[in-house]
Amino acid sequence: MINIALPKGRLGEKVYAMFEAAGYECPSIKENNRKLIFENTEKQVRYFWVKPSDVSIYVERGAADIGVAGKDILLEYTPDVYELLDLNLGRCRMAVAARRGFHDDGERTLKVATKFTNIAAGHYASRGREIDIIKLNGSIELAPILGLSDVIVDIVETGTTLKENDLDVIETVVPISARLIVNKASFKFKTEKIENIVRSMKEQVKNDD
Amino acid sequence: MEEKLLKNEERAVFALRALYRQYGYLPFKMSKFEEYDLYVRNKDFLISDRIITFNDTNGKLMALKPDVTLSIVKNGEDLSGVKQKVYYNENVYRVSGSTHQYKEIMQTGLECIGDIDAYDIFEVVSLAAKSLQLISPDFVLDISHLGLLNSIFNQINASELFRREVSQALSEKNSHDILRLCEKHGVSDDVKSMLTEFVGIYGTKDTVLARLKPLCINEEAKAAYAELATLAALFSATDYADRIRFDFSIVSDGNYYNGIVFKGFLNGICEGVLSGGQYDNLLHRMGRRAGAVGFALYLDLLEELNAVKNEFDVDILILYDEDTDLSELVSTCKELTDGGKCVSAQKAFPPKLRYRELIDLTRGNRS
């Protein structure tokens, strides 16, 4: 049996549709009930929904053999897992944004508000910029407007929220998309089954570039 | 009975000690503490750079040892043809992989230091495989050679950043990001396809060596290939040959490691339980001429393996009170324990103790 952790939400539903199209369907997952785990014994797969930021924990700790997580989560938590596929779904970018017209003159410590403290710290450390990290859990865009921070490091999809709040992207840190990850030990002992799933999933990836 | 009482990790310690002694490895006992300075100078060699430190009575900054190898290799004489072979069983203190918190980790391992050659490398890698086999026959030992990746890097005179980023992606078997990195750094298509081909190669020797050969285009790579092929040939005669795999996603720090590196897995444990390799570069950095190869096995992880849950804490609970005849209590206990039962003598029912049978020796129940 292969355990697959799916991220709850719209992305997870798209990912499940890919698994289904790849031949690893599990019809019970579409029933409207409170079950947490869905199994297809014939196809030897078991799915479960978890909070998107927890997927990598389930996979790293071996509770799931396979999982799908955003590159943002993987960069932030650096789990020790294999990243076998870029599913090319949920595409967006991790970016630095600030109030329109902001200029970093480099004279004082830069105040950075973010949910992704490790990514932000790594980004500025690589250019030797002294920063003060302010960890927030939501509504990051508020921080520069209220003067809590100079800039924010956050996920930008369309940029509409930023524009409506007079914020501009000033640089892209890294492009983000959903990745298929695999537990390293599971890969050693279930190699063939996992390879088959990865191969079938690869055929489902839509490359638009 | 005694065998049953031992936990996985305790049983492993005994079996491994006997195995290492058979091959002439001598025990190495060390202190729990080491000067912090040793670790600072070799920070990159450590799995995690977070170390528990404290001040000694004379004000010197000390550390609870996060690693054993550094302590073993820091002293020693370099004599031609001679090897120091030691094994250890020590606790180390470091941030553990998946929990991201400090943990006491029981570690056993061995080091072969000195004028090492192909035989020594085979001996150490095969002892690693035998160690895993002793714990569970369902194991996998992945072997890689750092010379292969280095040869590609050196061929294109790669920057530090490119090496680091590609190594990280390789450790994730992440070919899509390797492609992106190659594009970002303007690497030629030939090298790009070599690197992505390299990520995809893993498995037993027959599948790997044939695919690997065309990628070995310079002397450095050819030498690494020859070493791997020698090792593969020696392993094909062992009874665990099918458990040996080649996997180039093992990327240990090249500042310390060179040559063969390996990692062991047991079915049922979610992370690698053994890791090792050849680390001549570490010794050279310490001013020694010798080479070295060794490995460590993380025994605390064995807890996860086929954990047998006991239904009862004791076989028999014996209840007694002030009026119970002590000699009767003593003889009852002796009779039961002689018969192989485990007993707990108590004056009242312990709230959480699970017992199979009850013997009541309190006054009201005696005939």
Tens of pLDDT, residue by residue over B186-237, are 999 999 999 999 998 999 988 899 999 998 989 999 999 999 999 999 999 9
Confidence of residue A209 (pLDDT cuts 50, 70, 90): low
**Average pLDDT of chain B, as a whole number:** 89
Please state, as a whole number, how many other Cβ atoms lie within 10 Å of the Cβ of residue A114.
Answer: 25
**Inter-chain contacts counted by CB atoms under 8 A, chains A and B:** 48
Mutate to test the interface with B, among A76, A91, A184, A199 (most CBs of B within 10 A): A184
Q: CATH code for B139-261?
A: 3.30.930.10
Query: Is B262 near chain A, with CB under 8 Å?
Result: no
Contact between A23 and A32 (Cβ < 8 Å): no
Question: What's the pLDDT at B307?
Answer: 65
d(CA B354, CA B362): 20
pTM as predicted? 0.88
What is the third-level CATH fold of B1-137+267-306? BirA Bifunctional Protein; domain 2 (3.30.930)
Question: Which residues does chain A have within 8 Å of residue B272's beta carbon, measured at their own beta carbons?
Answer: 184-185
Please report where in the chains the tokens 């390789």 appear, as a residue.
B170
Confidence of residue B48 (pLDDT cuts 50, 70, 90): confident
- Note the pLDDT tens digit of each residue in B56-111: 999 999 999 988 888 888 877 788 888 999 999 999 898 876 567 888 888 999 99
Question: What's the pLDDT at B1?
Answer: 45
Structural tokens at position B134: 């002793």
Query: Is A20 near chain B, with CB under 8 Å?
Result: no
The reply to whether B139-261 shares the fold of B1-137+267-306 is: yes
Q: Is this complex scored with an ipTM above 0.95?
A: no
Query: Is B343 near chain A, with CB under 8 Å?
Result: no
Instruction: Give the distance from CA B241 to its chain's centroid.
Output: 20
Question: What's the pLDDT at A71?
Answer: 96
Average pLDDT estimate for A164-173 = 93
- Note the pLDDT tens digit of each residue in A18-33: 999 999 999 988 887 7
d(CA B165, CA B150): 13
Please report where in the chains the tokens 């569970």 appear, as a residue.
B136
- pLDDT at residue B263 above 80? yes
Question: What's the pLDDT at B97?
Answer: 61
Query: Would you call B232 helix, strand, or coil by DSSP?
Result: helix
Least confident of A76-80, B8-12, B290-294: B8-12
Query: Is B267 near chain A, with CB under 8 Å?
Result: yes
Please state, as a whole number, how many other Cβ atoms lie within 10 Å of the Cβ of residue B216.
Answer: 19
- Provide the shortest C-alpha distance from residue B36 to chain A (in Å): 25
Question: Which residues does chain A have within 8 Å of residue B142's beta carbon, measured at their own beta carbons?
Answer: 188
Query: Is B184 near chain A, with CB under 8 Å?
Result: no
Q: Which residue of B has its CA nearest to A182?
A: B172
CB contact under 8 A, B97 and A61: no
Query: Is B178 near chain A, with CB under 8 Å?
Result: no
Question: What's the pLDDT at B367?
Answer: 46
Q: Cite the DSSP H helix spans in B6-48.
A: 8-22, 36-41
The percent of residues above 70 in pLDDT, for chain B, comes to 95
- Provide the shortest C-alpha distance from residue B324 to chain A (in Å): 52
Strand partners, A133: A112
Confidence of residue B30 (pLDDT cuts 50, 70, 90): confident
Please report where in the chains the tokens 């680091």 appear, as a residue.
B164
CB contact under 8 A, B177 and A83: yes
- pLDDT at residue B366 above 60? no
Query: Is A188 near chain B, with CB under 8 Å?
Result: yes
CB contact under 8 A, B173 and A83: yes
Compare CB distances from A185 to B173, B176, B269 and report the shortest one's residue: B269
- Note the pLDDT tens digit of each residue in B298-349: 998 888 787 667 788 999 999 999 888 899 999 999 999 999 899 999 999 9
- Provide the shortest C-alpha distance from residue A169 to chain B (in Å): 21
**Average pLDDT of chain A, as a whole number:** 93
Give the residue from B197, B169, B198, B199 showing the smallest Cα distance to B181: B169
d(CA B192, CA B187): 7
Mutate to test the interface with B, among A179, A188, A191 (most CBs of B within 10 A): A188
- Provide the shortest C-alpha distance from residue B138 to chain A (in Å): 9
Q: Which residue of A has its CA nearest to B249?
A: A82
Average pLDDT estimate for A37-57 = 94
Query: Is B288 near chain A, with CB under 8 Å?
Result: no
Domain ranges, ordered by start, for chain B: 1-137+267-306, 139-261, 311-360
Please report where in the chains the tokens 């285009």 appear, as a residue.
B217
CB contact under 8 A, A189 and B138: yes
- Note the pLDDT tens digit of each residue in A169-185: 999 999 999 999 999 99
- pLDDT at residue B172 above 80? yes
